[in-house]
Structure 1
Amino acid sequence: MLAPFLIMLREGLEAALIVGIIASYLHRTGRRAWLPVIWIGVLLAIALSLFAGAALLTLSGEFPQKAQEAFEAVVGLIAVGVLTWMVFWMRRASVSMRDGLQGGVDRALAAPTGATWALLGMAFFATAREGLESVFFLLAIFQQSPGPMMPLAALAGVAVSILVGLLIYRGGVRINLRLFFRWTGILILFVAAGLLASVMRNLHEAGVWNHLQLVVVDLSAMLPTSSVFGTVLAGILGYDDTPTVGEVLVWAAYLAVTLPLYLRPSNLRPPAMARPLPVEARS
């Protein structure tokens, strides 16, 4: 339950910060009349994400068993790619996010025609990116851990992100967003590694990959996936009580590459006087 909660909290906060920066800049510069355009873009993006999720769920239910496993493997690979890209994108973009978005708003409103569509597009694509990323991750994690708890945890993460985003926007709370995104980024890399290991299981069950299937260790007696703690680990890190050589290798190889790259010092420096991932409070 922790993985969908934290990832949806992070995804929701990313979207809330981007939209909040745009909205607060419009408010501060006396352009409040454009705010409804921003909210329309957000609502359209949410609708698109819900439609995409429903379509994928419907499509997956039409497949026979082996094709279902192959579909889950494809979704899992996409989710791993999306999560990895998300972590590294935020690491890079957080330094100059405010200045870039405010410059985009100025350019959109300075255009002789099409300002409405330009602003709507900024809000729409910022929110749709986070929403579609979430669709693939949630579909992959729900396939691993069926039941109501994972969706409820994801909804809780979204609800908390909206609340925190509103508090940040109105200046009612200040948190170290750079530190928050850094530590959740590390957790997400471990989640992605677990998803990648589950992709290997799906490919084997689909009959596509039948190599390196020797079980490394049998933990089914000590910590079965059917136990409470085993279920939690499976939902968060993709834990399996009988991991194979292939699963362990892809898990370790992924983290061996991504963790050092993510933790290495960044050459980018925030602008002077900028707070970590700054968000201008509503004045």
Structure 2
Amino acid sequence: MFASIAFVVWRESVEALLVIGILDAWLVGRSIDTRRARGFLWGGAIAGLGVAAVLAALLLWLGEAVSDETQTIYQTVIALLAAALILQMVFWMRRHGRSMRSELEGSMNRAVTAGSWWGVFTLALIAVAREGSETVVFIYGILSAGVLGSLTAGLLAGLTGFGLAAITYALLMTGSRVISWRLFFRISEIVLLFLACGLLMTGVDGLINLDILPRLSRALWNTNFLLSDGTTAGGFFASMTGYRARPNLMELIGFCSYWIVVLAVIYRPRKNSLSATAPR
């Protein structure tokens, strides 16, 4: 769980730093009151963190307030929601990643042209609140998949992820040959897709335990001799990939369906490619 949480915080923090960095660089390059503009920009970023903190408190409160049986349903829903959000984020970045900078700068230009510093504040707030809220849901979903040693360990994992994000962002901004933006997004995309699969399988297991989905069969095979998902290493691998040592048919259907859909979306022909090759 420690590594999963650290990775999620690392990935989302780098993206949030990227957005704020793009907006800050745009402000510096304009003949405006940069100090005042930055005040609204970073004020919006802090407010966005506040929104994420409120969401975290709300999720924790709901988790403690519900009964044991309802908590199982609640955690299952959160795990499935986290998986869906990860997929949505990955697919969105694949579609808009290249144009993200121009879109952000366009929004910033409209806000400044209109003389609305609150527009700058709102843009930063929305960007950070989105990344922060996604991170909160992801982490809660990961925690629903297993047990982290303590709250202190969870906070340490988050701080580790943020520290690594700051280092990664610095390397990316200095044009490091070790890592590029393209490599960063490609590697993190692959890991996120596996993590989403792990969360989906947690949700499927939850639905089976709640008798909402049938097992359809007993264990189809047993690979405990290779890697047991009941051990520390096996449990980590299972949470990160959706691996099951003794899967039933419903789990196998869920796992295969997930990757069929993901690969179909990733490798489907783009409209511009089709139009370019269409006969005239």
- TM-score norm. by structure 1 comes to 0.85
Corresponding position: 1:26 with 2:51? no
How many Å separate the matches in 2 of 1:184 and 1:154?
Answer: 17
User: RMSD of aligned C-alpha atoms?
Assistant: 2.3
| 3-state secondary structure, aligned to 2:9 | helix
Cα deviation, 1:114-136, whole Å, max 9, x if unaligned, reads x1211011101011111111111
Contact 2:214/2:250, CA 8 A, preserved across alignment: no
Counterpart in 2 of 1:13?
Answer: 14
Counterpart in 2 of 1:43?
Answer: 46
Residue correspondence of structure 1 range 141-160 to structure 2 within 5 A: 141-148=142-149, 149=153, 151-160=155-164
| 3-state secondary structure, aligned to 2:65 | coil
Contact 2:12/2:131, CA 8 A, preserved across alignment: yes
Contact 1:186/1:259, CA 8 A, preserved across alignment: no
Larger deviation, residues 82-91 vs 1-10? 1-10
Instruction: Give how far 1:172 is off.
Output: 6.7
How many Å separate the matches in 2 of 1:268 and 1:152?
Answer: 45
Contact 2:198/2:239, CA 8 A, preserved across alignment: no
Counterpart in 1 of 2:278?
Answer: none
Instruction: Give how far 1:12 is off.
Output: 1.0
Q: Which runs of 5+ in 1 are unaligned?
A: 270-283
Cα deviation, 1:254-274, whole Å, max 9, x if unaligned, reads 1111124225576789xxxxx
**What amino acid is aligned across from residue 200 of structure 2 in structure 1?**
L
Q: Going by fraction, where is helix more abundant, 1 or 2?
A: 2
For residue 89 of structure 2, the aligned residue among 75, 78, 86 is: 86
Larger deviation, residues 40-49 vs 30-39? 30-39
How many Å separate the matches in 2 of 1:268 and 1:49?
Answer: 37
Counterpart in 2 of 1:178?
Answer: 182
**Share of identical aligned residues, percent?**
29
Cα deviation, 1:139-198, whole Å, max 9, x if unaligned, reads 0101212124555334322222133335545x4746421222122212211211121111
- TM-score norm. by structure 2 comes to 0.86
How many Å separate the matches in 1 of 2:253 and 2:112?
Answer: 51
Q: Which has the higher contact order (CA 8 A, sep 6+)?
A: 1
Cα deviation, 1:18-55, whole Å, max 9, x if unaligned, reads 11000011012243220011111111111111121121
How many Å separate the matches in 1 of 2:25 and 2:198?
Answer: 38
Larger deviation, residues 24-33 vs 102-111? 24-33
| 3-state secondary structure, aligned to 1:61 | helix
Q: Structure 1's 106 and 10: CA in aligned 2 closer, same or farther, altered over 3 A?
A: same
Cα deviation, 1:65-114, whole Å, max 9, x if unaligned, reads 321111111101211110001101111211111111111111101114xx
Q: Which runs of 5+ in 2 are unaligned?
A: 274-280
